[in-house]
Amino acid sequence: MTAKLIDGKAFAATIRGRVADHVARLKEEHDLTPGLAVVLVGEDPASQVYVRSKGKQTKEAGMASFEHKLPVDADQETLLKLINDLNNDPEVHGILVQLPLPSHMDSSLVINAIAPEKDVDGFHVINAGRLATGQDAMVPCTPLGCLMMLRDHHGDLSGMNAVVLGRSNIVGKPMAQLLLGESCTVTIAHSRTRDLADVVRQADVVVAAVGRPEMVPGDWIKPGATVIDVGINRIQDGEKTRLVGDVEFDSCAEVAGAITPVPGGVGPMTIACLLANTVTAACRANGLAAPEGLTK
Ligand SMILES: Nc1nc(=O)c2c([nH]1)NC[C@@H]1CN(c3ccc(C(=O)N[C@@H](CCC(=O)O)C(=O)O)cc3)C=[N+]21
């Protein structure tokens, strides 16, 4: 392998340390404890593991963690009532509703019921609009984590060709907005893009967020490019299963200048940014400046 490995796990630990420092200062100087509420509907085992890990990391950073579980057949009104209560709870600065929701619920409606200033996922339409127009927004955690890694590796990104693979509202679109904000020349490629390989070959920065295991081979990568792999796909490997990203790691690492691994890349950064967003929300709710180095 010739590429430099971008260690998201280590970087995420650094971010969490900064979060914990800031939380300690908020307690001491302002008697303020940032609080994060996580809402889980249903009992999907992967979601349960993930929610538990968020709660643990929230507490480790010195913040208050509130977990709310609803049964899979809960009606939407019950969820909306809970969100309304959390919107009005002064101890809750951030609200995350774990996605996907059961199919009888309207996720857009549910997400848009969260007070925008408590929407630490950055999925509310107000936050999407603020990000797109360059105003202070809550920025979605996964793209924010990717941007932090890119900035850390490159410093200035201006003028670089960035190709974002995937056009989802939670990763692809906000990632493209952030890169545009860094003055990159941004292309969003997707399943209908013509000559996809040639498009990706133009990229100095590739962010792969399509959810297709090992879709990007090394011969699509421009020599020296930076590859950020957002994919977290569990595939069968003989008797066992293992996690792979959206890029073929070994072949891409032979060509790229730098690459994130899966696991240990974007995933841990996502949770670290969730904690960072919660601190930002708590600061803003109390008329304090958002912490340096933890926001966009
Ligand atoms: N409202 C909402 N916001 C989310 O941010 C959200 C969500 N719903 N629903 C589920 C997805 C998934 N997600 C992950 C974050 C970190 C890891 C992570 O840290 N992964 C480890 C590996 C963990 C393992 O071994 O399974 C890693 O990549 O190293 C994984 C998955 C956030 N999501």
ipTM, two decimals, is 0.97
Mutate to test the pocket of ligand 1, among 120, 270, 275, 278 (most ligand atoms within 8 A of CB): 270
Report whether 95 belongs to an annotated binding site.
Answer: no
183 is in an annotated binding site: no
The helix or strand, by DSSP H or E, that contains position 23, with its residue range, turns out to be helix 8-30
Q: How far is the CA of 50 from the centre of ligand 1 (A)?
A: 6
Which helix H or strand E contains 208, and what residues bound it? strand 205-208
Centre of ligand 1 to C-alpha 33, Å, is 25
pLDDT of residue 101: 97
Where exactly does CATH 3.40.50.720 map onto the chain? 141-268
**88: which DSSP letter?**
T
pTM of the model: 0.97
Residue nearest to atom 12 of ligand 1 (CA): 50
Ranges in the chain annotated CATH 3.40.50.10860: 30-121
Q: Is the CB of 111 under 6 A from ligand 1?
A: no
- Residues with Cβ within 8 Å of residue 169, at least 6 apart in sequence: 123, 128
- The pLDDT value given to residue 296: 82
Closest to 279 measured CA to CA, from 61, 105, 132: 61
Query: Which ligand 1 atom minimizes the distance to the CA of 274?
Result: 5
Looking at CATH, the fold of the domain delimited by 30-121 is given as Rossmann fold (3.40.50)
**pLDDT by residue (tens digit) across 23-69?**
999 999 999 999 999 999 999 988 999 999 999 999 999 999 999 99
Cα torsion through 206, 210, 213, 214, rounded to 10:
-20
Q: What is the pLDDT of residue 232?
A: 96
Chain segment 200-239, per-residue pLDDT in tens: 999 999 999 999 999 999 999 999 999 999 999 999 999 9
Could you list the mean pLDDT of each consecutive 10-residue stretch along the chain, which spans 296 residues? 96 98 98 98 92 96 98 98 98 97 98 98 98 97 98 98 98 98 98 98 98 98 98 96 97 98 98 98 96 86
Maximum C-alpha span of the chain: 56
Tell me 220's DSSP state.
Answer: G
Element (H, E) at 241: strand 240-244
Q: With a 6 A CB cut-off, is 119 part of the ligand 1 pocket?
A: no
Nearest atom within ligand 1 for CA of residue 123: 1
Check whether 232 is labelled as a binding-site residue: yes
Q: So what's the pLDDT on residue 26? A: 98
**Would you put residue 293 in left (φ > 0), alpha (ψ -120 to 50) or beta?**
left
CA distances from 150 to 100, 138, 182, 225, 237 (A): 28, 19, 11, 11, 31
CB of 216 sitting under 6 A from ligand 1 = no
pLDDT at position 293 is: 85
Helix (H, G, I), strand (E, B) or coil at 143: helix
Instruction: Say how far apart CA 282 and CA 59 lie, in whole Å.
Output: 15
SS3 content of the chain, % helix, strand, coil (to 5): 40, 20, 40
CATH of domain 141-268: 3.40.50.720
